[in-house]
Structure 1
Amino acid sequence: MKAIAVEPGAGEPALVERPRPEPEPGEALVRTLRVGIDGTDHEVIAGHHGNLPAGADRLVLGHEAVGVVEEPNGTELEAGEFVVPTVRRPPGRSNEFFERGEPDMAPEGEYLERGIVGAHGFMAEYVTSPAEYLVSIPPELAELGFLVEPISISEKAIEHAVATRSAFDWTPETALVLGNGPLGLLTLAMFESVLDIDRTYCLGRRDRSHPTVELVEDLGATYVDSRETSVSEIPDAHEAVDLVYEATGHAKHAFETVDALAPNGVGVLLGVPEPWEFEVDGGRLHRELVLHNKALLGTVNSHRGHFEAAIDTLSQLPEWFTDELVTGVYDLDEYTEAFKDGDDVVKTAVEFDAPAGGF
C-alpha cells in the first residue's frame, strides 16, 4: 500500500510502499479517506517536534484523519462505518492515564502519538487501531472528518478554561484568539457559532487582504494586526477580554495574555515554542494574576469525549465557513501540493480514497 512518510529534519515527505497492516485482536482495519495537514506536521517534517517509532528510519505522517471500517475484525464496529481515530496510544504498556480514559493528561514519556511521537500516523491507504480509539462520525460529516481532531483540541482547551472559573459565576462575553491559522479560525468559529460569545477578536500577522483575515471578519470578529497592536495593548485599543486562546507558539504571548485579560479572566495556552530567553516584569504579572483573579493554563491533545464533542461542533459550523477554510483537498498523485504554503492556502488535506459514490 502507499503511504506518505518522512525522515524528520532530512527532507520533504515521500510517497513510499509499505505492507498493508493486519489488525490484531481488538483492532479494526480502516481504509483511510482523508488526512488533514497542520502546523505540527510541518514541525515534524522539519525535525523540530516528535520522533521516530523504534527501529524505523521514517515516520508515516498524519494525525487528522477520517476513514471507513474495512474489517471490523470481531470488534463492535461495523464494516462501512465512518470513523475518526484519536491520536494518543499507550507506550507499549498501559498506565493510569489511559486506564481512566484521560490519555491527554499523560506527561511526556507516558504516551505515543500517531504520526508525531514514536508511532506511525494515518497517511496510509490502510491503518489499524484498537476499536476504543475509533470514534464514529455520521456519513454526512465524513467529508470534513479530518477537522474533528483539531476541533477536539479546542474542545478540551475550552472545557479546562471553563473549569478554572467553576468556583464562581462566570460567563465570558468577550474572547480573543491569538493566531489566524486553521486552529485559531476553527476556534473563532466555535466562539461565534456555537458558544455565542458576544464580542470576539483574532490577532495575526497577515495583511488584511489575506483570506484568513477575510474569514475572521466574515465570522463577525475583529481582526487585530499584531504588527500594529500588541497583545498587551489590546485592552487600550479595544477592550480587555474574558477568555484568551493562544495558538501561536510565540513565547511572549503567554505573558502578554495576562495584560489582555479582564478581571476574573482566563488564558489558555496551546502553542509549543522553541527555547527563547527574554526579560519580563515578573512582579507586575504576578500582581495582575493575584489582584484580579486571573488564570493561565496550558493544554495539549484531547480524549475520546472531546472528539465526540468536536463532531457535534462540526455539525454546527456554517457551511460557507468550512468551504472557505478548506482551500485544497489533493489526490495522492499530487500530495506534494498539500504541504505547500502560500497566500491562498488556509487548510489542506490529502485524499487517499473516497466512499462508494463519492462524498
Structure 2
Amino acid sequence: MKAIAVEPGAGEPVLVEKPRPEPSSGEALVRTLYVGVDGTDHEVIAGHHGQPPDGEDRLVLGHEAVGIVEDSNGTDLEEGEFVVPTVRREPNGANEYFERGEPDMAPDGQYAERGIVGAHGFMAEYFTSPAEYLVPIPERLAPLGFLVEPISITEKAVEHAVASRSAFEWEPESALVLGNGSLGLITLAMFETVLDIDRTYCLGRRDRPHPTIDLIEDLGSTYVDSRETPVPEIPAVHESADLVYEATGYAKHAFETVDALAPNGVGVLLGVPEPWEFDVDGGRLHRELVLHNKALLGTVNSHRGHFESAVDTLSQLPESFTDDLVTGVYGLEEFEAAFETGDDIIKTAVEFGSA
C-alpha cells in the first residue's frame, strides 16, 4: 500500500510502499479516506518535533484522519462504518492514564502519538487500531472528518477552562483567540456558533485583504492586528476577555495573556514554543493573577470523549465556514500540494480514497 512518510529533519515527505497491516485481536482494519495536515506535521518534517518508531528511519505522517472500517475483526464496529481515530497509544503496555481513559494526561515517556512520536500515523491507504480508539462519525460528515481531531483539542481546552472556574458562577461573555491559523479559526467558529459567546476577537499578523480575516469577520468576530494592537493593549482598545485561547506558540503571549484577561478570567495555552529567554515583570504578573482571580492553564492532546463531542460540534459548524476553511484536498498523485504553505492556504488534506 502507499503511504506518506518522512525522515524527521529531511525537509520533505515522500511517497513510500508499506505492507498492508493486519489487525491484531481487538483491532479493526480501516481504509483511509482523508488525512489533514497541520502545524505539527510541518514541525515533524522539519525535525523540530517527533520521532519514528524504535528501529525505523522514517515515520508515516498524519494524525487527523477519517476512514471506513474494512474489517471489523470481531470488534463491536461494523464493516462500512465511518470512524475517526484518536491519536495517543500506550508505548509499552497500558499504564494508569490509559486504564483510566485519560491518555491525554499522560506525561512524556508514557505514551506514543500516531504520526508524531513513536508510532506510525494515518497517512496510508490502510491502518489498524484498537476499536476503543475509533470514534464513529456520520457518513455525511466524513468528508470533513479530518477536522474532528483539531476540534477535539479545543473541546478539551474549554472543558478544562470551565473546570478551573467551577468554584464560582462563570459565564464568559467575551473571548480572545490568539492566532489566526486553522486551529485558531476553528476555535473562533466554536466560540461564535456553538458556545454562543457574545463578543469574540482574533489576533493575527496579516495584511488586508486576507482570507483568514474574511473568515474572522464573516463569523461576526473582530480582527486584531498585533502589529497595531499588542496583546497587553487589547483591553484599552477593545475590552478585557473572560477567556483567552493561545494558539500561536509565541512564548511572550503566555505572559501577555494575563494582561488581556478580565477579572476572574482564564487563559488556556496550547502553543508549544522553542526555548526563548526574555525579561518579564514577574512580580506584576503574579500580583495581577492573585488580586483579580485570574488563571492560566496548559493543555495538550485529547481523549475519546473529546473526540465524541467534536463530532457533534463539527455538525454544528456553518457550511460556509468549513468551505472557506478547507482550501485544498489533494489526491496521492499531488500530495505535495497539501504540504505547501502560503497566504492563500489555510487548511489542507490528502485524499486516499472515496467512500
| TM-score > 0.5, shorter chain as reference | yes
Q: In 2, distance between residues paired with 1:9 and 1:214?
A: 34
The one-letter amino acid paired with 1:106 is A
Q: Secondary structure at the match of 1:228?
A: coil
Q: Any idea what the Cα deviations from partners look like across 1:122-174, whole Å, max 9, x if unmatched?
A: 00000000000000000110010000000000000000001000000000000
Q: Secondary structure at the match of 2:23?
A: coil
The one-letter amino acid paired with 2:228 is E
Partner in structure 1 of residue 156 of structure 2: 156
Partner in structure 2 of residue 142 of structure 1: 142
Partner in structure 2 of residue 341 of structure 1: 341
Partner in structure 2 of residue 263 of structure 1: 263
Q: In 2, distance between residues paired with 1:22 and 1:208?
A: 50
Q: Any idea what the Cα deviations from partners look like across 1:195-215, whole Å, max 9, x if unmatched?
A: 000000000011121101110
Q: What are the residue-to-residue correspondences of 1:62-141 with 2, within 5 Å?
A: 62-141=62-141
Cα drift, residue 221 of structure 1: 0.4
Q: In 1, distance between residues paired with 2:209 and 2:312?
A: 32
Q: Secondary structure at the match of 1:334?
A: helix
Q: Secondary structure at the match of 2:10?
A: coil
Partner in structure 2 of residue 273 of structure 1: 273
Q: What are the residue-to-residue correspondences of 1:236-247 with 2, within 5 Å?
A: 236-247=236-247
TM-score, L = length of structure 2: 1.00
Q: Secondary structure at the match of 2:188?
A: helix
1:204 aligns with 2:204: yes
Q: In 2, distance between residues paired with 1:8 and 1:151?
A: 26
Runs of 4+ in 1 over 6 A off after TM superposition: none
1:15 aligns with 2:15: yes
Cα drift, residue 93 of structure 1: 1.4
Q: In 2, distance between residues paired with 1:312 and 1:208?
A: 33
Q: Any idea what the Cα deviations from partners look like across 1:69-92, whole Å, max 9, x if unmatched?
A: 000001000000000000000011
Q: What are the residue-to-residue correspondences of 1:201-350 with 2, within 5 Å?
A: 201-350=201-350
Q: In 1, distance between residues paired with 2:25 and 2:39?
A: 34
Q: Any idea what the Cα deviations from partners look like across 1:67-121, whole Å, max 9, x if unmatched?
A: 0000000100000000000000001111000000000000000000000010000
Q: In 2, distance between residues paired with 1:294 and 1:346?
A: 32
| Consecutive unaligned residues in structure 1, runs of 5 or more | none
Cα drift, residue 10 of structure 1: 1.4
Greater displacement, 126-135 / 203-212:
203-212
Q: In 1, distance between residues paired with 2:8 and 2:310?
A: 30
Identical-residue share of aligned pairs (%):
81
Q: Secondary structure at the match of 2:330?
A: strand
Q: Any idea what the Cα deviations from partners look like across 1:325-349, whole Å, max 9, x if unmatched?
A: 0000000000000000111101000
Partner in structure 1 of residue 173 of structure 2: 173
Greater displacement, 77-86 / 208-217:
208-217
Q: In 2, distance between residues paired with 1:342 and 1:331?
A: 19
1:57 aligns with 2:85: no
Q: Secondary structure at the match of 2:202?
A: strand
The one-letter amino acid paired with 1:2 is K
Cα drift, residue 353 of structure 1: 0.3
The one-letter amino acid paired with 2:246 is E
| Consecutive unaligned residues in structure 2, runs of 5 or more | none
